[in-house]
Chain A
């Protein structure tokens, strides 16, 4: 089992990190076709077009790429599920609805290098025999929308998209579609309903999108980062990809550090790096403070604590530690943070975003918010804690889609690790924390941040 980049023996940043997707983000005009072409852009597509589609699927499968949108499902296998010779149109839909609290990797990726996504989409279209692909981008990110519009325009003009792509006979159209504000549309079947012009509510499965997806036709829904990882596999080979990460979770990925960290940001590393290693790279928790709790992959993944600093951040190891790798959104909170406040806010979020389709989630999140607000305000009772756990238990695994599970996760995990803090709110009839101590400017009366926009 290897967890580091090839030939790495030390622990310096250059050994621990493996920028591939982010490799050209510091170029002056990284988002242009011209810059992308100077850095092997569209070379993976050329290789793919010279291969039979099934060989492309096999290659992605053998490389071991697992979906980067949270669930870790093998990307190649998803492609293989598309029935062939069925006479129906096939569709590729890129899930660019990045909305999971804490998750912030796809937005900078598409902003800095939209062409790597387009190249991955073209390879996928060739593999699954699709002639029309969509990017479902959440609406609230206009700077990214601008660059996607521009990249698609450039790629059409240069013959990478459109009729007879690079003389291969493949016809592909790519449509950029902006959503309108709904977290639930990150759920793939809700996304498809939304893309069909409906309220974004999840669909019953089966049938799965591979059989009846967009317009009831075979459809692959892939996360941005998953698709954007494909060109490098084609260009540099599956052995190269498998030389990074773990045996079951090969390759590199974007880890997003946020919160009370000295240098928050994107850190692209082989799968299986630990939070301790990442924090060392990022300068640690802000001076004078220590880590209290963190999410491995957004707010829907159960909280972890300091004792989990050395858990390898791959799908299997994080699951074994009782959480989920999710989107690798590492939100770090120090000891100034009230866990009840944090969880109340997430719970309000889930209640707001619950689509209303199923009863456990719609009603359950409503009651969870009432209980959490009372406890945070010091108006709760000890029996409320059992009620919280009971309602969460009735939502978890009993809801129509994963939103319900996500709503229960922060409550159940925070009760597991910080029950005493809930009790303190109840016994002291109020919150024992000072919110001002948690802010970005709490310890720095005059920081560089404050000069921005001043």
Chain B
């Protein structure tokens, strides 16, 4: 058994991508750069692009970005390490992010995260042994009216419970198709990163999946419209929709997590 000794020497320069990969990525990178009046603006989308190639931002990926944008490796590393969405080591096909910012945490996010860690046998930012899931607690994802919220590959899983999330990750690990409450049926993390780089999702039905708006988004609108609709006489004075109504709203989202 050899012992690794750290001599404090600088790392060797990262290797380049194989020619075939580099040629392919260059075409995409040029398309990204052309979107902006200043080429450096392409850096964030290009980091998403290299993440779509390897599943994380490798030193090779950073070097590629630096070469394309005439920046130093250090300038690119400074940016890549500032933003939380760029991963710095290989991780799972599905990024499961449990919101534990105050509101979601209190509404149950803390319990969901604790139970999920135990269920998957990983800690924060850990990846399951089968390489399927990387678990992380995340900050507020702008869906507080759907709390507690879990994001998988940055698609919305609204109004979650510990049981619903455990079922969902079991489905993912079993290779079943999982659909979010808002968003399109899950694709891999790499494919998601390509959309983030600015290349539209070309899967049929991806844009329309899950409908126009989630139930909470329509809460006020339904009251406002119900007041004039004869079918909803209760709304004119009864300001507390019954439990049955909210159940029906959730019922419109059938078919998730199959």
Give me the interface of A with B, judged by CB distance under 8 Å: 12-15, 17-19, 22-23, 25-31, 89, 98-104, 106-108, 111-112, 132, 138-143, 145-147, 149-150, 153, 175-183, 194-200, 215, 255-260, 262-269, 280-284, 299, 329, 331, 333, 337, 341-343, 345-346, 349, 352-353, 355, 435-436, 438-441, 448-454
- Which of B3-11, B75-83, B125-133 contacts the other chain? B75-83
Show 21 residue pairs from A and B whose CB-CB distance is below 8 angstroms, ordered by the A residue.
A12-B235, A17-B220, A22-B221, A103-B142, A104-B143, A141-B142, A149-B200, A178-B45, A178-B198, A200-B83, A258-B144, A264-B144, A265-B219, A267-B220, A267-B223, A342-B102, A349-B102, A352-B139, A448-B243, A450-B163, A451-B250
* Contact partners of A98 in chain B: CB under 8 A: 142
- Which of B18-26, B104-112, B116-124 contacts the other chain? B104-112
* Contact partners of B251 in chain A: CB under 8 A: 448
- Among B159, B192, B246, chain A packs the most CB atoms within 10 A around the CB of B159
Can you name 16 extra interface pairs (CB under 8 A) apart from A150-B200, A352-B139? A14-B227, A101-B140, A104-B142, A140-B85, A143-B156, A146-B201, A178-B198, A179-B85, A180-B44, A194-B44, A197-B40, A263-B216, A281-B220, A346-B102, A440-B159, A454-B167
Q: Which residues of B in the span 38-89 have a Cβ within 8 Å of any Cβ on A?
A: 38, 40-45, 47-48, 69, 78-79, 82-86
* Contact partners of A268 in chain B: CB under 8 A: 220-221, 224
Question: If the complex has contacts A141-B141, A142-B183, A453-B181, are A29 and B208 also in contact, measured as CB distance less than 8 A?
Answer: yes
Whether B216 and A264, one on each chain, are in contact in the complex, defined by CB atoms closer than 8 angstroms, is yes
Whether A146 and B85, one on each chain, are in contact in the complex, defined by CB atoms closer than 8 angstroms, is no
A270 to B237, CA, bound (A): 20
The residue of chain A having its C-beta at the shortest distance from the C-beta of B242 within the complex is A283
Whether A197 and B79, one on each chain, are in contact in the complex, defined by CB atoms closer than 8 angstroms, is yes
B147 lies within 8 A of chain A by Cβ: yes
Which among B143, B168, B212, B241 is the interface contact of A31 at CB below 8 angstroms?
B212
A196 to B39, CA, bound (A): 8
Interface Cβ pair total, 8 Å cutoff: 327
A103 to B140, CA, bound (A): 8
* Contact partners of A355 in chain B: CB under 8 A: 82
Give me the interface of B with A, judged by CB distance under 8 Å: 35-38, 40-45, 47-48, 69, 78-79, 82-86, 97, 100-103, 105-108, 110-111, 138-148, 151, 153-161, 163-165, 167-168, 180-184, 192, 195-198, 200-201, 206-208, 210-228, 235-237, 239-241, 243, 246-247, 250-251, 253, 256-257
Whether B40 and A29, one on each chain, are in contact in the complex, defined by CB atoms closer than 8 angstroms, is no
